[in-house]
Amino acid sequence: MAKKITQNDFIYKTLSSPKERMAVFREIPVNNQGFVLLSLSNRVQQGIITKLNDEEMTELINYLDPDEATDLLQKVSTRRRRKIVEKLSEKIREKVEFLLKFNPKTAAGMMSLDYTEVDKNITFEELSKIIQKHEKRTGKFPTILAVKDGFLEGELLGHVLALHKGKEKINNFIKKVPHIEYDRNEKEVIKVFKKNPHNKVVVLDKNKSILGVIYSDDILKLIEKQSADNLRDFAGVSKEEDVLDSALVKVKNRHKWLIINLITAFIAASVVSFFQDTISAFVLLAVYMPIIAGMGGNAGTQTLAVVVRGLALKEIDINTGKSVIINEMLAGGINGIIIGILVAVIAFLLNKNPVFGLIVGIAMVTSLIIAGFFGATIPLLMKKLGKDPASSATIFITTATDVFGFLVFLGLATIML
């Protein structure tokens, strides 16, 4: 008897041996293949879909909900998509064709058709019959949306149905539910969801009629995806790069930013070269340079994270950024004093030189103020220029803190020692 391949088994084998990916995937029971496929990254999904024939794609899609089936079909060419849709079971084909009409990056592209629409004035007895028909047809208990003259009134929660029956009307138990127009983008969907702590958002057509429902799990997946994209931006890694990519693909996606980083590193190094005589005379300076640079870079990255989040949530923009820059510089200065006193004391105790301790302390304060300034200014400027404010801004911030930090530290040492 063949061993059952689980989702975790497949992911593990995919990671350890990509060459065997298709053979392992075909060992998964067909009724579970679609769910495993949806759990994988876009790149791996695309690779598997390309190698599956139309019959295999049709069979695994027939086990998915229409919205999940649509997600996979949007990854194939238009011509191939038509062929596959024609072979789908009647039960799913009509809904899939409807969902494929919409842009996948909009509210309609995220919605599910797993709901039932009822008049707000019907009785619980009548509603029970409607629910039974829906469950018989789909095998699922639906979201119950109440309407008046075709327009959304609200939602009747499932547990209410269990507590009431007979001739009592449902209209007294309807709760408001957040809604959004079908052509709104993903960011607006997330915004509506965050403003309304609810487990779903109803999608409406331009005429205010109901098109579908976006469930919380889909919105949370989108939020997680955006968080992952932001993390990649911070690291200067391509959005197209995947953990399963070959070494050559990773090199292709990363080398440009590393070259830029190298150039900026040479700028910082050139500043240090101006003080060769000072460093030669006081070798101890070289020991503390990485501390000054590291603290400045870390402080700048902290500021960057806060400012990028503020830009993403539209809490600030280039016009209101002045106060943010000032606050970050003040915070940097206060943190610099705290850290500067600590490092000055340590430098004095270790090296028995109060002047040297003072130089290190002043350099630390200056470095953190500079980090606050550039950590706030660079993402605001990038936003103004129409660039992604998180895209490898750390490279430029680190360069700025290194250059000015070394300039102050080595400059003071040249004057005072």
CB 389 within 8 Å of CB 258: no
In single-letter form, the type of residue at position 181 comes to E
Q: How far apart are CA 174 and CA 144, in angstroms?
A: 10
CA distance 129 to 111: 25
Question: What's the CATH architecture for 247-416?
Answer: Orthogonal Bundle (1.10)
pTM: 0.54
- CATH 1.10.357.20 positions along the chain are 247-416
Q: Which residues contact 136 (CB under 8 A, 6 or more apart)?
A: none
| pLDDT for residue 270 is more than 90 | no
Structure token digits, residue 138: 């789909």
Give the range among 118-122, 189-193, 257-261, 324-328 with minimum mean pLDDT.
Answer: 257-261
Which residue in this structure is represented by tokens 């998915």?
Answer: 64
Residue 59's pLDDT is 93
**Distance between CA atoms of 170 and 34, rounded to whole angstroms?**
38
Residue 84: band (very low, low, confident or very high) from pLDDT cuts 50, 70, 90: very high
pLDDT over 60 at 241, yes or no: no
What is the per-residue pLDDT for 225? 67
Q: Where in the chain is the domain with CATH 3.10.580.10?
A: 110-215
Question: Could you report the per-residue pLDDT of 107-137, keeping only the tens digit for each?
Answer: 988 898 888 899 988 998 888 888 888 888 7
Please name every residue paired with 147 in a beta bridge, in sequence order, or none if there are none.
119, 152
Q: What is the mean pLDDT of residues 40-47?
A: 80
Greatest CA separation found in the chain?
Answer: 95
pLDDT band at 2; cut points 50, 70, 90? very low
Give the three-state DSSP class for 34. helix
Contact yes or no for 26/34 (Cβ under 8 A): no
CATH 1.25.60.10 range(s) for the chain read 7-101
**By C-alpha distance, which of 138, 246, 156 is closest to 202?**
156
Percentage with pLDDT > 90 across the chain: 15
CATH architecture of 7-101: Alpha Horseshoe (1.25)
pLDDT top residue among 139 and 66: 66
Higher pLDDT: 17 or 46? It is 46
Closest CA to 220 of 202, 201, 243: 201
The rounded distance, in Å, linking the Cα atoms of 383 and 378 is 9
Q: Which of 232, 107, 234 is nearest to 180 (CA)?
A: 107
The 10s digit of each residue's pLDDT in 364-397 is: 999 999 999 998 998 888 777 776 666 557 778 8
Helical ranges in 313-392 per DSSP H: 321-351, 354-384
Residues 159/160/165/169 CA torsion (nearest 10 deg): -150
CATH number for 110-215 (one of 3.10.580.10, 3.30.530.20, 2.40.50.140, 3.50.50.60): it is 3.10.580.10
> What values do phi and psi take at 169, rounded to 5?
-85, 155
Query: Under the phi-then-psi rule, with left for phi > 0, alpha for psi from -120 to 50, and beta for the rest, what region is 90?
Result: alpha
* CA pair distance 398, 360, nearest whole angstrom: 19
Q: Which two three-digit tokens encode residue 7?
A: 């989702």
Average pLDDT over all residues of the chain: 82
